[in-house]
Chain A
Amino acid sequence: MGEILEINGPIVRVRLPQVLTGEQVRVGALKLTGEVIGREGDDAIVQVYEVTDGLRPGDPVEPMGHPLSVELGPGLLGQIFDGVQRPLYTLYDLSGDHIARGLAVDALNREKAWTFEPNAALANGTAILPGSVLGTVQETAHILHHILVPPDIGGTLLELAPAGDYTLEQPVAHIQDEQGHTHKLKLYHRWPVRTPRPYQHRDHASAPLITGQRVLDTFFPLLKGGKAAVPGPFGAGKTVVQHQISRWSNAEIVVFVGCGERGNELVDILESFPKLTDPHTGRSLMERTVLVANTSNMPVVAREASVYVGVTLAEYFRDQGYDVVMVADSTSRWAEALREVSGRLGQMPVEEGYPAYLGSRLAAFYERAGRVEALSGKLGSVTLIGAVSPPGGDFSEPVTSHTKEIVQTFWALSKELADARHYPSVDWTESFSGYVGTAAQWWSENVDVQWEGLRGIALGLLTQAEELARIVNLVGPEALSPAQRWALEGSTLIKEGILQQSALDEIDSYCSPQKQFALLQLLLTIYAQGQKLLALGVPVQRLLSLPLLARARRYKTLHGNDDLARLNANALEIQVAFDALRAEYTKPGSAAK
């Protein structure tokens, strides 16, 4: 038992000899939870996850004997937890509208019984490796929860429970380790959040994460097991992009961490996800989602913990062989929490008040993404997508610039595009993806071999148009050649017909890879046909006034994902329109003169 010496916001200095750094402690009469972040002599520096008002010097402090860890087992899916994995619905039942302090609650429900199916391959007396599968629990209609041996325990199986209903506290297996110690294994185990869960080896990421968002999938792809960042000033639509990814991506599990953001955004997910269906399984989206919430008004230290809690949950499902997407909104708030703690400790700031270890912490966090062969032998992946909120939209600030060096896919959101209501406001000049080559292989095997080529043409057209737009702004459109004016029109067609995608439109909200490719092909056909006619001497004004162009912008909302035949039938309409024009100008003695 120790005592409080000093309280400075969330940082409390206590006298507590022999406590380990990283260990959890309970502070004061209210028993607020905290974590030791440093030792000095007999003193320990503790960061407290809850508001420290009312604590006084001399109050007791007790060590809890373990570091910040999470409970991993059936009952995670569909839940919303706070930054240190306290279930918010349970807190709501206990303390009402507002979160009271000092509540100690189990993360997972202890009363609920789960139907356990033992792993038939295991017989008593067999050797059990750490991380192997003891059995399964059908947690939701589509998610089979694999009950794993904790990664730090292995030995000989003494007893495996028969099939039946078990609560989380009832042992389902007994294992004797090499020292002769017997471990009782239950349906859940604990794992410290700051330690990455071990795996056998890393595997190459090979399949793209399909988000159903054209500008992401077609132009700046991300792989399952990859790492991506979404930076953008406020109002650029970061949240909508992240929600769309959580809704539609073809991951099996989604962990959404609301880190220092608005409470209502989580409510939006809580209210809308149960009603939405996963386009890949047809089940309610909430059945594959876990939420971790430390909203901006919740204590700042728990914000720092929340991303680690989230990524540990993601790794746990990865170890069961699932493709997991973790979305962290926003990593800037996490970095600011680091900054606040380091500032209170009087550490020397480097850039904009951030501590010197910002870059290494960010890199280590993103390294927890990846596709691996788990200890269980299953292949799974964690894809990390972090939002970044640069102050003033300045991408040269420390969090954005460090993140940019770490991630492979960078979806830069632009205020200018958002102001013109061009959503998603992904800026095609600032964004990049290092995964295009790998993704191209998947697209050519699963959709069409021309994908990479067409993607290149479209991006080239967009880049060329940037340059042309500058000229127009200086001297007006008359200065452009007909071919240049057509290129400008072609790029507008791509912007409006492909890049812009309404999250609110029922048909357009999710776009399948096949439809993405079909749209790209159709619009580029229009552009290519026009180029040919220009070469034949057709005036560009005739092309620009084709009624087809207005219609082509609506293709995306006219035909759903299951209506590709009718979408592709537009090719005929395009052909007819251009043929008619060509006929007009190739007839001898025609209007071409």
Chain B
Amino acid sequence: MKDREYRLASAARGGLLFMHNVPGVALGDRVQVHDHAGRIRNGQVIRSSLESVLIQVFEGTEHLDLERTWVRFLEQPFELALSPEILGRVFNGVGLPRDARPPLVSGLRRNVNGAPVNPAARAYPREFVQTGISAIDGLDSLVRGQKLPIFSGSGLPHNRLAAQIVRQAKLPNEESGFAVVFAAMGVSHTDARMFQEDFESSGVLSKVVMFLNLADDPAIERLILPRAALTAAEYLAFDLDMHVLVIMTDMTHYAEALREVATAKGDVPSRKGYPGYLYSDLAELYERAGRIKGRHGSITLIPVVSMPSDDITHPIPDLTGYITEGQIVLSRDLYNQGIYPPVAVPPSLSRLMKDGVGKEYTREDHPRVANQLYASYARALEVRNLASIIGAEELGEADRAFLKFAESFERNFVAQGENEERNILDTLDLAWRQLSLLPRDALARVSEADLDKYHTPISHQP
């Protein structure tokens, strides 16, 4: 039953091709669609019955007739060819070269859908990754094998932040740095070039695999692109023992493509027209990050989600937040005040931080300092709110200290240069300089010993 070719699809619309009287086609199989101009498009079987077959065409169903279109069933699942040569290469969503170099030849091919990792095979991620960014390292530390998204909004510098993380991310006690898998879905040419130049100038390009689907490329290809990218990441991490950092930008474009196909298929919509299986679908991607027992490599995943209308309750960031291990939220407010990176501290969180910092990985006081900064900043924001109503002059002395703290915390701790790299000890010392703006008895989250060691009231500071 190899390579059967059929003509006369019964319908073509919304990226879907409906075929009749094609018996015995397996679900998930790869197809090639030859259009009237001789161009080959890639597709996949997403529903199959005795009478009909439904095909999702990654290049879309524009400029397609039914009479001259031939569909070839390849009798194999969607696979990606893998070899160490993928490093330094640029591919499109279905794994074909985009860099004018020949396709990869390799006997090793893997199904892009992967298979679920057995929870009993996972190792708990707990090694601190230093990004050199105080707001992340100090407050929401990233650990190796974590999935930590950046929740952003249109026009905010999420891609610049992601690029800075790629440049600076370091694994303490590891000789080699990260290999990078970069999955771009619907990003602009400008952003894609920014990343490319950034990788080049920082010298990591030879350790980057790029999967590119730009804003003017077919939208449906975005459905398979992250799967191909994660298949490459799994190969690098678990076959070649590398630590892999995967940047996926922008998940919102991915989810929109999913909605487009779901609507065309007639799936029952749940919230905002997104299909009910958006959660499971996103989880299939995000859960491919992690560490595995007895393997040296790891996959650390940083998806970028631009929140439509800055709404964190929108289904895409909302469902993402339920799957990922925390989130870094960017704030338009801080950005407008000229603060880069504009990390909104209160809603940001790293769930795996508790086991990845402290004496063994960073410094003994780290978890308590982070907790204290959060609590003090929350209090300071309340005071700032109050000051905007009754005026700062009306505040008591203690409250004024909090106002000063908030200001300094945002300007000196959260804000930093795009090329500024702070090591974790500097970040913690900087944190204590902010906390020292507050009186000792306002700091209940740190221990007495921490206070004795690190708290330097203003009058004692040089």
Residues of A within 8 A of B (CB): 5-9, 13, 51-58, 80, 88-89, 91-92, 95-101, 233-235, 239, 258, 260, 262-264, 266-268, 270-271, 293, 295-300, 333, 336, 339-340, 343, 349, 352-353, 389, 391-394, 415, 419-421, 472-476, 478, 496, 504, 547, 550, 553-554
Contact = CB atoms under 8 A, between A and B. Distances in A.
Contacts of B49: 5-7, 13, 57
Given A54-B28, A298-B116, A7 B267 contact: no
Contact of B321 (A234, A267, A550): A234
A234 B50 contact: no
B122 A263 contact: yes
A293 B116 CA distance: 12
A6 B50 contact: yes
Contacts of B441: 547, 550
A295 B277 contact: no
Contact of A262 (B118, B277, B325): B325
B346 A353 contact: no
Contacts of B119: 80, 88, 258, 263, 266-267, 270, 293, 295
Given A56-B25, A100-B115, A343-B268, A264 B325 contact: yes
A554 B446 CA distance: 11
B449 interface: no
Contact of A391 (B117, B275, B313, B326): B313
B288 interface: yes
B268 A349 contact: yes
Given A57-B48, A267-B119, 19 more contacts: A5-B50, A53-B113, A54-B77, A55-B26, A57-B25, A88-B119, A99-B118, A267-B123, A270-B119, A296-B287, A297-B116, A297-B286, A300-B277, A352-B271, A420-B378, A421-B445, A474-B389, A476-B390, A550-B444
A521 to B, nearest CB: 21
B352 interface: yes
A390 to B, nearest CB: 9
Given A6-B48, A264-B325, A472 B386 contact: yes
Contacts of A300: 277, 280
Contacts of A352: 270-271
Contact of B47 (A8, A51, A264, A333): A8
B432 to A, nearest CB: 18
Contact of B354 (A101, A504, A550, A553): A504
Contacts of B24: 56-58
B118 A98 contact: yes
Interface residues of B, number: 78
Contacts of A57: 23-25, 48-50
B194 interface: no
A553 B385 CA distance: 25
B47 A7 contact: yes
Contact of B120 (A5, A91, A239, A299): A91
A260 B323 CA distance: 9
30 contacts: A13-B49, A51-B113, A52-B27, A58-B50, A88-B120, A98-B121, A101-B115, A234-B318, A235-B349, A262-B325, A266-B119, A267-B119, A271-B124, A296-B287, A297-B283, A297-B287, A297-B288, A340-B277, A352-B271, A353-B269, A353-B271, A353-B276, A391-B271, A420-B374, A420-B375, A421-B374, A473-B386, A478-B394, A504-B354, A550-B441
B198 interface: no
Nearest to A504: B354
B284 interface: yes
B147 to A, nearest CB: 9
A99 B119 CA distance: 9
B308 interface: no
Residue of B123, B275, B385, B390 most packed against chain A (CB within 10 A):
B390
B120 A339 contact: no
B371 interface: yes
B347 interface: yes
Contacts, number: 209
A58 B1 CA distance: 14
Interface in B279-297: 279-280, 283-284, 286-288, 290, 292, 295
Nearest to A392: B313
Contacts of A101: 115
B287 A263 contact: yes
B48 A56 contact: yes
A262 to B, nearest CB: 7
A546 to B, nearest CB: 11
A496 B323 CA distance: 30
B95 interface: no
Nearest to B120: A88
A340 B444 CA distance: 47
B50 A54 contact: no
A352 B315 CA distance: 12
A80 B120 contact: yes
A98 B115 contact: yes
Contact of B124 (A264, A339, A419, A472): A264
Nearest to B444: A553
A139 B336 CA distance: 63
B40 to A, nearest CB: 23
B161 to A, nearest CB: 20
Contacts of A271: 124
Contacts of A340: 276-277, 280
A472 B382 CA distance: 11
B198 to A, nearest CB: 30
Contact of A297 (B284, B295, B314, B349): B284
A56 B27 contact: yes
A7 B120 contact: no
Nearest to A89: B120
Contacts of B125: 264
A473 B326 contact: no
Contacts of A7: 27, 47-49
B153 interface: no
A547 B439 CA distance: 13
B114 interface: yes
Contacts of B280: 260, 296, 300, 336, 340
A49 to B, nearest CB: 12
A271 B48 CA distance: 42
A270 B123 CA distance: 10
B327 interface: yes
Interface in B118-152: 118-125
A258 to B, nearest CB: 8
B238 interface: yes
B277 A421 contact: no
Given A57-B48, A58-B50, A340-B280, A473 B27 contact: no
Contacts of B371: 421
Contacts of B276: 336, 339-340, 343, 353
A547 B442 CA distance: 11
B77 A262 contact: no
Interface in B236-272: 238, 267-271
Contact of B279 (A233, A295, A336): A336
Contacts of A268: 124, 355
Residue of A58, A92, A96, A268 most packed against chain B (CB within 10 A):
A268
Given A7-B48, A343-B267, A474-B389, A92 B120 contact: yes
A336 B277 CA distance: 8
Interface string B376-393: 001100000110011000
Interface in B51-77: 77
B26 A554 contact: no
A5 B27 CA distance: 12
Nearest to B440: A550
A351 to B, nearest CB: 10
A421 B27 contact: no
A333 B371 CA distance: 31
Contact of A92 (B116, B118, B284, B445): B118
Contacts of A270: 119-120
B288 A58 contact: no
B303 interface: no
B112 to A, nearest CB: 11
